[in-house]
């Protein structure tokens, strides 16, 4: 089934729902990553999670026993910062947390309450005053961007959910209709960030994730192989019905199926 893994050089793992449920490492994740590295594969991680910077995500993985470096993590915060730098934008108004702010600062992009660009992300301290300021900037014709478009994130195996980017986007759009450009998975900005980061040919690369609408779409747009693992948001029935860019190359139940061919 997964014999193509023998010829793969680079494996890119989604984080939430694939490697962890935020504070809980998923079964076989550590073993699978270690086994792939032993077999000489280059391992990267990709996420729309901006609560932590890439450096923070690397530290979190290390505490769970998975060692990596920040430059092997491609986050939507990094994708957004890279996009703004490329466009010559040096200040944005941010609804988000310190991990996102840090990624922007690394690219010399400042947070400014009078900016012409609004960036929406997960914000556990979101309030009416942040919404008010974003609305005021939109009234001045500010452009609006987001690091993703999830309705919620699941935290842990007990099913606890927290609001993600979409509720904040909808709150702003309820005040004034405004288009919002996604800079996270599976956007063109994220695609460019991925292709700039990895060091192998598309046919030698696979993305492993739990969501057909983000992970599989991004993989297919990059020309990569795609593997859906049934530990997150997409069910097996939904995955098998998927067509076009939503369709995974393969479906697995557990991550260690990736290394069963070695």
Q: What is the predicted pLDDT for the residue at 155? A: 78
> How do residues 212-226 score in pLDDT, each as one tens digit?
999 999 999 999 999
> How do residues 4-53 score in pLDDT, each as one tens digit?
898 999 999 999 999 999 889 999 999 999 999 999 999 999 999 999 99
Q: What is the predicted pLDDT for the residue at 1? A: 61
Burial of residue 102, with CB atoms counted within 10 A of its CB: 0-12 exposed, 13-18 middle, 19 or more buried:
middle
Q: What is the predicted pLDDT for the residue at 22? A: 85
Region at 82 (left for phi over 0; alpha for psi -120 to 50; beta for the rest) = alpha
Domain(s) of CATH 3.40.50.1000: residues in the chain:
3-48+199-259, 77-182
> Which residue, among 76, 91, 80, 66, has the nearest Cα to 11 in the 3D structure?
66
Q: Look up the CATH architecture of domain 3-48+199-259.
A: 3-Layer(aba) Sandwich (3.40)
Q: What is the predicted pLDDT for the residue at 154? A: 79
Sheet holding 117-120, edge to edge: 110-111, 91-95, 117-120, 143-146, 180-182
What are the residue ranges in the chain where pLDDT is below 50?
none
Distance CA 52, CA 249 (A): 30
Q: What is the predicted pLDDT for the residue at 221? A: 98
* Domain spanning 77-182: CATH superfamily: HAD superfamily/HAD-like (3.40.50.1000)
Q: What is the predicted pLDDT for the residue at 75? A: 98
């Amino acid at each position: 089934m997964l014999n193509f893994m023998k010829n793969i050089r680079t494996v890119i793992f989604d984080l939430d729902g694939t490697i962890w449920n935020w504070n809980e490492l998923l079964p076989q994740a550590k073993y699978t990553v270690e086994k792939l590295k032993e077999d000489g594969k280059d391992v990267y991680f990709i996420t729309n999670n901006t609560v932590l910077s890439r450096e923070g995500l690397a530290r979190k993985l290390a505490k769970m026993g998975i060692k990596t470096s920040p430059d092997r993590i491609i986050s939507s915060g990094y994708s957004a910062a890279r996009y703004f730098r490329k466009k010559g934008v040096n200040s944005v108004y941010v609804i988000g947390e310190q991990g996102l702010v840090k990624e922007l600062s690394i690219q010399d992009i400042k947070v400014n309450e009078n900016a012409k660009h609004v960036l929406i992300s997960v914000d556990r301290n979101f309030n009416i005053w942040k919404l008010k300021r974003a609305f005021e900037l939109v009234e001045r014709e500010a452009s609006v961007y987001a690091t993703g478009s999830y309705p919620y994130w699941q935290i842990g195996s007990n099913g606890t959910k927290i609001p993600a980017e979409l509720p904040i986007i909808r709150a702003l759009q309820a005040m004034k209709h405004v288009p919002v450009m996604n800079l996270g998975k599976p956007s063109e900005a994220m695609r460019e960030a991925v292709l700039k980061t990895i060091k192998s040919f598309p046919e030698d690369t696979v993305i492993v994730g739990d969501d057909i609408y983000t992970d599989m779409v991004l993989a297919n747009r990059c020309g990569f192989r795609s593997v859906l693992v049934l530990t997150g948001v997409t069910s097996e029935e939904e995955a098998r019905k998927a067509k076009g860019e939503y369709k995974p190359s393969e479906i697995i139940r557990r991550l260690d199926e990736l290394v069963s061919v070695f």
